[in-house]
């Protein structure tokens, strides 16, 4: 039975919300230039290489999840978020359409409860903070218990940044002793929740009674078409799969490979550092990744390929970067067809492109609906067929999935650390959660010349026909 929130926790949460509202009041008259200056300062102080590397490695050490050497690579996301934020309007009139007689005015969303995942305690706070300060919101960060010190340290940097520029520190606050009751209380009493994390967290956010932006589970699946650049596809698959030891929901989990290039692709993946399991090793790997009840073993989430193999009871060479299994079956009872949260990848052989499309649909029936997928192909018809076929919100074409679908400097996706998965994933949006999601907007409508088509135009061939 879940415990109830204590009176002390209620008092702490109420005081934080009150301070947040008071801080918002202090900056309510800031103009666009002032909030842009604060956003730049946050981007620099949180995203400079020295600070970010230090706190990112602290996050890996504290949680035991992720790649200490590679976690710092997420720094680019702060730079991209700042780029996108600075290119958008967020104060006063943000859009005018004289033809339709419409003017749009931005206003703060309010006090935001931001739920921080154990995989991104150094990244999510500044990403949320940059977008929030642009819209004059306040944020209360609720860390994951396994990464609370890291989250608190990044928020400390953010608070000191504001103070140095004469803005109130309490625009950003962090819960020091997080608990599920405290988080539930914040979600129910703040104005908006940004929930980045596992399914229970997101479900709780949507049950709080307040608006929430959540994310769905990933199960990124890539189609390798017969005309793919095999070397490029293998390299990008390795980059995506090994980023932070596969901790992200965008890491390539399944490759559906056209039969004509299956063997060549497999060899290219081995050349990139993949280790292909035999049948015995595959069985041991399954036991290492999942418990008997089907739940994921936390001990093997986002750790190196060597440590996973050791946990499973076999060894692999030190130069191997990720683990591969060949898979035919798809279904909830076949765990390798679902999300793996590790440097483990399942390979499927497709007879032809139609078979690849059928396999993609089957895989997303196991998990990951609404999230993302990708394709390595130069056939525009196949690219569009794949996009039409897959029940996902974003499709990356010839790009490393985990480096691309949340925005990169090489595509036009909005930069974010939170990926909406739409109705498929039980989310309110299927967009990359970014600047526009952090504001209220007032629409002003002025009279315009009548825009009413004739009945003949509206009803077309059915005009004046017999009524049913």
**Which residue among 46, 135, 190, 249 is the active-site one?**
249
- Does the annotation mark 249 as catalytic? yes
Query: Looking at the DSSP assignment, which residues form a beta bridge with residue 73?
Result: none
Measured distance CA(129)–CA(194) in Å, rounded:
11
Residue in 151, 47, 109, 18 with CA at minimum distance from that of residue 437 = 109
Tokens of 400: 């490393």
Angle at which helix 75-86 crosses helix 32-47, to 10 degrees, equals: 170
φ, ψ dihedrals at 203, nearest 5°: -60, -40
Measured distance CA(134)–CA(82) in Å, rounded:
10
User: How big is the CA angle at 74 (ends 117 and 195), to the nearest 5 degrees?
Assistant: 25
List the catalytic residues. Answer: 249
């Amino acid at each position: 039975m879940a415990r109830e929130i204590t009176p002390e926790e209620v008092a702490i949460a109420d005081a934080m919300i009150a301070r947040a509202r008071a801080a918002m009041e202090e900056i309510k008259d800031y103009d666009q230039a002032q909030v842009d200056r604060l956003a730049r300062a946050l981007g620099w102080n949180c995203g400079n290489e020295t600070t970010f590397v230090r706190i990112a490695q602290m996050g890996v050490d504290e949680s035991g999840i992720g790649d200490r050497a590679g976690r710092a690579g997420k720094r680019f996301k702060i730079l991209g978020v700042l780029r996108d934020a600075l290119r958008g309007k967020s104060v006063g009139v943000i859009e005018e359409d004289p033809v339709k007689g419409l003017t749009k005015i931005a206003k703060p969303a309010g006090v935001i409860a931001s739920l921080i995942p154990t995989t991104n305690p150094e990244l999510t706070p500044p990403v949320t903070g940059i977008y929030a300060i642009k819209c004059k919101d306040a944020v209360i960060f609720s860390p994951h218990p396994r990464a609370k010190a890291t989250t608190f340290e990044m928020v400390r940097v953010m608070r000191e940044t504001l103070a140095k520029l004469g803005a109130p520190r309490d625009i950003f606050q962090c819960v020091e002793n997080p608990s599920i009751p405290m988080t539930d209380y914040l979600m129910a009493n703040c104005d908006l929740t940004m929930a980045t994390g596992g399914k229970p967290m997101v479900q709780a956010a949507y049950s709080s009674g307040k608006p929430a932006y959540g994310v769905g589970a990933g199960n990124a699946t890539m189609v390798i078409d017969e005309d793919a650049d095999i070397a490029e596809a293998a390299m990008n698959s390795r980059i995506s799969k090994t980023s932070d030891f596969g901790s992200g929901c965008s890491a390539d989990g399944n490759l559906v490979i056209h039969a004509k290039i299956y063997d060549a692709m497999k060899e290219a993946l081995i050349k990139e550092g993949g280790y292909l399991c035999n049948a015995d090793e595959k069985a041991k790997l399954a036991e290492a990744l999942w418990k008997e009840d089907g739940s994921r073993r936390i001990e093997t989430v986002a750790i190196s390929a060597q440590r996973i193999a050791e946990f499973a009871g076999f060894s692999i060479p030190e130069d191997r970067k990720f683990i591969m299994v060949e898979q035919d079956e798809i279904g909830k009872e076949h765990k390798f067809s679902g999300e793996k949260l590790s440097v483990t990848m399942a390979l499927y052989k497709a007879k032809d492109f139609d078979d690849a499309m059928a396999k993609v649909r089957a895989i997303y029936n196991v998990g990951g609906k609404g999230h993302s997928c990708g394709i390595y192909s130069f056939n525009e018809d196949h690219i569009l067929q794949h996009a039409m076929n897959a029940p996902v919100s974003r499709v990356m074409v010839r790009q490393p999935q985990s480096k691309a679908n949340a925005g990169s400097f090489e595509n036009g996706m909005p930069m974010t650390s939170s990926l909406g998965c739409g109705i498929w994933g039980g989310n309110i949006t299927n967009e990359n959660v970014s600047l526009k999601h952090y504001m209220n907007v007032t629409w002003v409508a002025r009279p315009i010349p009548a825009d009413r088509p004739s009945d003949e135009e509206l009803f077309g061939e059915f005009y004046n026909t017999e009524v049913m």
